[in-house]
């Protein structure tokens, strides 16, 4: 369903139209409102609501609104006219009536009908879709058309495109402010959808942490790791259908140096691998870009020292890789020391690949390949791995310093270098996700092995 409501009123009907808008102020605040020039100015002045103004009805504003109906942008049209002037309006009204009939858009011509239509829209769900047009390898126009085809019969969809000069977090905050405005029970049904890669999802989730507003995810990135970790389908159609089921789960979130983290932070090997797998490589090879970059990095990886601080206690390790995970799919193998990263246990899963040598020799690198294979196998069977080159523990807060400083990747994006502080935010995020066992309540206790 489209997101705009259109208003036209004859001079003798403008007072009624203003009163109607005042009555449904909360409902209109959730939608984009457009009106012919004089009608819109009067409503805007009386209500303070923002209105998109088209030409006056005399100058063809009704034709502009008809064009917007044809474009699929209008949820309903309200045209209050003076019945004594109906003969003068006849042809214009009939044209708009014909267009609304063809495109199945409600056209209200009296207050009784207008009340019924606005009451219905007030109860409708609105989804603010934050759509990254450059994510993944697909055709963004075709992707968006499919999303609209599946969702719009059930949800009023407001589309917000990400832009290079705008942070998706800020775009999501604007949408949240719209949802929260008015304090109506209808706004409780509104939600936000992120469509893009893990970076887009993480940025949108950042704004939603602690709000209780549900996040829908339509993955269109290269890895789509957060979706896989929560069992959210990665196909467009199935992901949209998952949102329409209405099933939500509450999962943990985290912050790394005050930046949002819904997946994991990688220090050393993983960060270098992500940096190698640049946009050109991902566009060419897709998810295989990470495997190729990882193989290249394994040949060049150098050891470093990490100092890990938990509850004031500091421990030092010589290592080549360290992962701090809030949630992770099986393919994030360096996070799988426990065999499964539980996304709602209130804890971070820490896995450190240690070494007793001063530098990595060929034997160490071959051993690393073996350990990576075992980590992946442990993730598939959800069983912890026991290995002398791995240190694994769970905690709700951790500080890490590296010597020399190491690059850090958070949710697929390089954020700088160590030191970092990661803090878990229990039950921080509500997500449309299948009801699977890993998302059921679990006992929240610190563990290590």
Inform me whether the pLDDT recorded for 422 exceeds 70.
yes
Least confident of 217-226, 241-250, 293-302, 408-417: 293-302
Question: Over 281-322, what HEC string results?
Answer: HHHHHCCHHHHHHHHHHHHHCCCEEEEEEECCEEEEEEEEEE
pLDDT above 70 covers what percent of the chain? 80
Domains 4-122 and 126-246 fall in the same CATH topology: yes
Assigned CATH topology for domain 261-426: Tumour Suppressor Smad4 (2.60.200)
Quick one: pLDDT band at residue 280, thresholds 50, 70, 90? Answer: low
Question: Residue 348 has what pLDDT?
Answer: 96
Neighbour-count burial of 184, counting CB atoms closer than 10 A to its CB (0-12 exposed, 13-18 middle, 19+ buried): middle
The torsion defined by the Cα of 195, 198, 200 and 204, in degrees rounded to 10, comes to 90
Question: Residue 401 has what pLDDT?
Answer: 96
Domain ranges of the chain: 4-122, 126-246, 261-426
339 vs 285: CA distance, rounded Å:
28
Of the candidates 300, 316, 290, 292, which has an alpha carbon nearest to the alpha carbon of residue 409?
Answer: 290
Is residue 11 annotated as part of the catalytic site, yes or no?
no
Assigned CATH topology for domain 4-122: Rossmann fold (3.40.50)
260 vs 411: CA distance, rounded Å:
9
Considering 11, 16, 59, 62, which one is annotated as catalytic? Answer: 62
Q: Give helix 362-381 / helix 288-300 axis angle, nearest 10°.
A: 150
The string of pLDDT tens digits covering residues 179-223 is 887 444 444 679 999 999 998 999 999 999 999 999 999 999 888
Q: Report the pLDDT averaged over residues 234-248.
A: 94
Inform me whether the pLDDT recorded for 364 exceeds 60.
no
Mean pLDDT of the chain: 84
Inform me whether the pLDDT recorded for 24 exceeds 90.
yes
Of the candidates 100, 416, 413, 434, which has an alpha carbon nearest to the alpha carbon of residue 279?
Answer: 413
In this predicted model, which residue has the larger pLDDT, 81 or 346?
346
pTM over 0.85: no
Inform me whether the pLDDT recorded for 443 exceeds 50.
no
Inform me whether the pLDDT recorded for 69 exceeds 60.
yes
Q: Report the pLDDT averaged over residues 217-235.
A: 92
The string of pLDDT tens digits covering residues 387-404 is 667 888 999 999 999 999
Number of Cβ within 10 Å of residue 149's Cβ equals 11
Q: Report the pLDDT averaged over residues 419-425.
A: 97
Contact criterion met (CB below 8 Å) for 349 and 335: yes
Helix (H) / strand (E) containing 27: helix 25-29
Distances in whole angstroms, Cα of residue 157 to Cα of each of 4, 49, 262, 286: 10, 20, 25, 29
In this predicted model, which residue has the larger pLDDT, 294 or 157?
157
436 vs 277: CA distance, rounded Å:
32
Question: Residue 447 has what pLDDT?
Answer: 45
Question: Residue 185 has what pLDDT?
Answer: 45
Question: Residue 390 has what pLDDT?
Answer: 82
Taking the domain 126-246, which CATH number applies?
A: 3.40.50.10330
Q: Which residues contact 178 (CB under 8 A, 6 or more apart)?
A: 29, 30, 128
Backbone angles phi, psi at 405, to 5 degrees: -55, 140
Inform me whether the pLDDT recorded for 73 exceeds 80.
yes
In this predicted model, which residue has the larger pLDDT, 148 or 378?
148
73 vs 3: CA distance, rounded Å:
6
Q: Report the pLDDT averaged over residues 319-342.
A: 86
Cis-peptide into 139, omega within 30 deg: no
Determine the 3-state secondary structure of 105 from DSSP: coil
Least confident of 63-77, 115-129, 216-230, 262-276: 262-276
Q: Report the pLDDT averaged over residues 122-132.
A: 91
Give Cα 322 distance to the centre of its chain.
27
Q: Which residues contact 295 (CB under 8 A, 6 or more apart)?
A: none
Of the candidates 315, 300, 329, which has an alpha carbon nearest to the alpha carbon of residue 393?
Answer: 315
């Amino acid at each position: 369903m489209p997101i705009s409501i259109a208003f036209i009123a004859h001079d003798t009907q403008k007072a009624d139209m203003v009163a109607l808008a005042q009555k449904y102020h909360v409902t209109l605040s959730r939608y984009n409102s457009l009106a012919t020039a004089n009608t819109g100015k009067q409503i805007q002045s009386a209500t303070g609501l923002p209105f998109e103004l088209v030409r006056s009805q005399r100058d063809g504003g009704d034709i502009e609104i008809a064009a917007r109906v044809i474009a699929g942008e209008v949820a309903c049209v309200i045209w209050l006219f003076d019945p004594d002037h109906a003969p003068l309006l006849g042809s214009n009204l009939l044209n708009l009536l014909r267009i609304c009939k063809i495109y199945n858009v409600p056209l209200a011509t009296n207050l009784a009908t207008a009340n019924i239509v606005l009451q219905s829209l007030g109860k409708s769900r609105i989804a603010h879709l934050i759509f990254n047009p450059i994510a993944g390898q697909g055709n963004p126009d075709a992707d968006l058309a499919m999303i609209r085809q599946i969702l719009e019969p059930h949800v009023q969809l407001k589309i917000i495109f990400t832009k290079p000069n705008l942070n998706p977090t800020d775009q999501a905050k604007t949408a949240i402010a719209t949802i929260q405005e008015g304090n109506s029970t209808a706004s409780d049904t509104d939600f936000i959808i992120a469509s893009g890669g893990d970076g887009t999802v993480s940025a949108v989730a950042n704004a939603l942490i602690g709000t209780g507003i549900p996040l829908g995810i339509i993955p269109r990135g290269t890895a789509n790791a957060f979706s896989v970790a929560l069992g959210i389908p990665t196909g467009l159609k199935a992901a949209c259908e998952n949102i329409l089921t209405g099933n939500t789960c509450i999962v943990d979130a985290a912050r790394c140096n005050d930046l949002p983290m819904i997946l994991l932070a990688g220090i050393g090997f993983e960060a270098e691998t992500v940096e190698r797998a640049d946009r050109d490589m991902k566009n060419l090879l897709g998810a295989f870009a990470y495997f190729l970059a990882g193989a290249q990095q394994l040949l060049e990886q150098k050891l470093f020292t990490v100092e890990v601080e938990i509850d004031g206690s500091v421990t030092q390790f010589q290592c080549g890789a360290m992962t701090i995970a809030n949630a992770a799919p099986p393919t994030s193998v360096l996070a799988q020391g426990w065999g499964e990263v539980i996304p709602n246990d209130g804890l971070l899963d820490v896995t450190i690949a240690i070494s007793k040598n001063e530098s990595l020799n060929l034997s160490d690198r071959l051993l690393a390949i073996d350990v990576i294979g075992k980590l992946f196998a442990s993730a598939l069977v959800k069983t912890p791995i026991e290995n002398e080159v791995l240190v694994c523990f769970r905690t709700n807060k951790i500080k890490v310093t590296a010597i020399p400083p190491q690059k850090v990747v958070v949710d697929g994006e390089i954020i700088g270098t160590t030191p970092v502080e990661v803090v878990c935010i229990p039950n921080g995020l509500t997500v449309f996700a299948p009801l699977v066992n890993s998302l059921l309540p679990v006992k929240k206790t610190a563990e290590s092995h």
